[in-house]
């Protein structure tokens, strides 16, 4: 099976500029390819997983990934898939976010000895001379064609700034620079990036007469209609300080049965044939496949030890008799128990709910328990008697637990 066939089998292929040409390239020579990452947040999230795994699979097939941090383009904002203009961040914030990305990407990619590159497009975009850029690059772009792409048509309805209108030129220039400096022949991204990627491919052909390729992946969706990677408390981040390894693990344990196969194919390195065999049944074996998905993906993102601790915590929370110490923990000072720390406060501080209003609804609907007993009073407070051996367990619904430790 060829490299492109493998990507397709695992669900990474949606649109391709030239399938026969790209297949020949990937099977015939070591190829540099790139994906851009927008550093407007301080952590990668589940929405980035598909691209990270696609890069990892290609690297394992012998190719060289280039992770391009958009330190330059982040100062402008990409209209693709957005309904409004994004906030422009300070340079210092962008640099800090890029460094956080580097640490997280190292879980997926081998950056040693030039096997992968992490670059920032501010290196070549920041010094650009605007007049020269318009003369040499801008003349190759058609406004009429740009407006045929869905991303731009959608934004025209709500207002597209001139700054954002330049984004396609800058992303295309990125591809040209990487082609010239690093021999990059392939740009990948999500389907929402198709117009920008094709524009860069065309720019390479027009300016340098070179052959380059475009490949996009489909949007990852859940069969139950819920947004991928979203929880009651917000996005599912790869940074353990923002989403604990336990919560990350439990998200995958609880995905719908119909999604297990596609997630195992996309988000693990297990053989495709084994995955399909495991997911062919809708009995207890599908639950085993879910646990496998959670274990494999938590190991990739957080390491084997954190995956083991998350599994131990899950067994403890659901009656397996393991040690509760591995549950996500909220530390509470003894001085807070003088009638002032409410259960609602504890629910929010522990991350079981994002806001006090959500925590209030949880109690009103009978979904909150403390040490196995349902919390019924909205103004209930934590008392010293709630802490057996200095520990209490707070639960939201059937599947979310927090350990509260008295300090």
Identified catalytic residue from 227, 356, 361, 384: 227
Is 153 annotated in the active site? no
Identified catalytic residue from 10, 31, 38, 48: 48
d(CA 380, CA 176): 62
> Which of 34, 43, 33 has its CA nearest to residue 101?
43
Distance of CA 174 to the CA centre of its chain: 22
> Which of 19, 37, 167 has its CA nearest to residue 100?
37
Is 356 annotated in the active site? no
Identified catalytic residue from 8, 75, 82, 308: 82
Is 290 annotated in the active site? no
> Which of 163, 173, 168 has its CA nearest to residue 150?
168
d(CA 268, CA 270): 6
β-partners of residue 190 are: 217
Q: By three-state DSSP, how is residue 220 classified?
A: coil
DSSP 8-state secondary structure symbol assigned to residue 342: B
Identified catalytic residue from 50, 73, 168, 171: 171
Is 182 annotated in the active site? no
Is 82 annotated in the active site? yes
Is 257 annotated in the active site? no
Identified catalytic residue from 5, 18, 27, 40: 40
Identified catalytic residue from 193, 216, 231, 342: 231
d(CA 32, CA 285): 40
Is 40 annotated in the active site? yes
Count Cα neighbours of 22 within 13 Å in the Cβ-side half-sphere: 26
Read out DSSP for 70-92?
-TTGGGT---TT-SSPPPPPPHH
Identified catalytic residue from 75, 140, 145, 230: 230
Identified catalytic residue from 78, 192, 247, 386: 192
Q: By three-state DSSP, how is residue 213 classified?
A: strand
d(CA 134, CA 333): 61
* H helix count then E strand count, the chain: 18, 13
Is 48 annotated in the active site? yes
Please identify every residue annotated as catalytic.
40, 45, 48, 82, 86, 171, 192, 227, 230-231
């Amino acid at each position: 099976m060829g490299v492109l066939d493998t990507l397709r089998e695992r669900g990474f292929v949606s649109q391709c500029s030239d399938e026969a040409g790209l297949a020949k390239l990937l099977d015939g020579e070591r190829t540099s390819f790139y994906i851009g990452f927008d550093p407007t947040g301080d952590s990668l999230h589940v929405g980035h997983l598909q691209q990270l795994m696609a890069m990892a699979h290609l690297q394992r097939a012998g190719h060289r990934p280039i992770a391009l941090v958009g330190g330059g383009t982040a100062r402008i904002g990409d209209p693709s898939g957005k309904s409004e203009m994004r906030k422009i961040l300070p340079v210092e914030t962008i640099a800090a976010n890029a460094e956080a990305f580097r640490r997280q990407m190292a879980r997926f990619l081998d950056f040693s000895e030039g096997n992968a590159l992490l670059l920032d497009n501010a290196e070549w975009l920041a010094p650009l001379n605007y007049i020269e850029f318009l003369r040499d690059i801008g003349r190759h772009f058609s406004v009429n064609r740009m407006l045929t792409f869905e991303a731009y048509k959608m934004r025209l309805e709500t207002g597209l700034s001139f700054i954002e209108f330049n984004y396609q030129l800058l992303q295309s220039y990125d591809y040209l620079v990487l082609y010239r400096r690093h021999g990059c022949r392939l740009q990948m991204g999500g389907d929402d990036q198709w117009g920008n990627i094709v524009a860069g491919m065309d720019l390479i052909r027009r300016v340098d007469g070179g052959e380059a390729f475009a490949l996009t992946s489909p949007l990852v969706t859940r069969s139950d209609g819920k947004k991928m990677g979203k929880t009651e408390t917000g996005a599912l981040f790869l940074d353990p300080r923002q989403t604990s390894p336990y919560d990350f693990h439990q998200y995958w344990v609880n995905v719908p049965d119909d999604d297990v196969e596609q997630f195992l194919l996309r988000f693990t390195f297990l053989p495709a044939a084994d995955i399909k065999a495991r997911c062919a049944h809708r009995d207890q074996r599908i639950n085993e496949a879910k646990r496998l998905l959670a274990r494999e993906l938590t190991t990739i993102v957080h390491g084997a030890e954190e995956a083991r601790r998350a599994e131990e915590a899950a067994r403890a929370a659901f009656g397996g008799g393991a040690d509760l110490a591995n549950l996500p923990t909220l530390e509470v000072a003894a001085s807070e128990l003088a009638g002032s720390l409410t259960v609602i406060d504890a629910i929010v501080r522990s991350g079981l709910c994002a806001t006090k209003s959500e925590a209030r609804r949880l109690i009103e609907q009978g979904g909150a328990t403390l040490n196995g007993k349902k919390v019924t009073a909205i103004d209930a407070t934590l008392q010293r008697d709630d802490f057996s051996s200095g520990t209490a367990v707070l639960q939201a619904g059937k599947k979310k637990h927090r350990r509260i430790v008295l300090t």
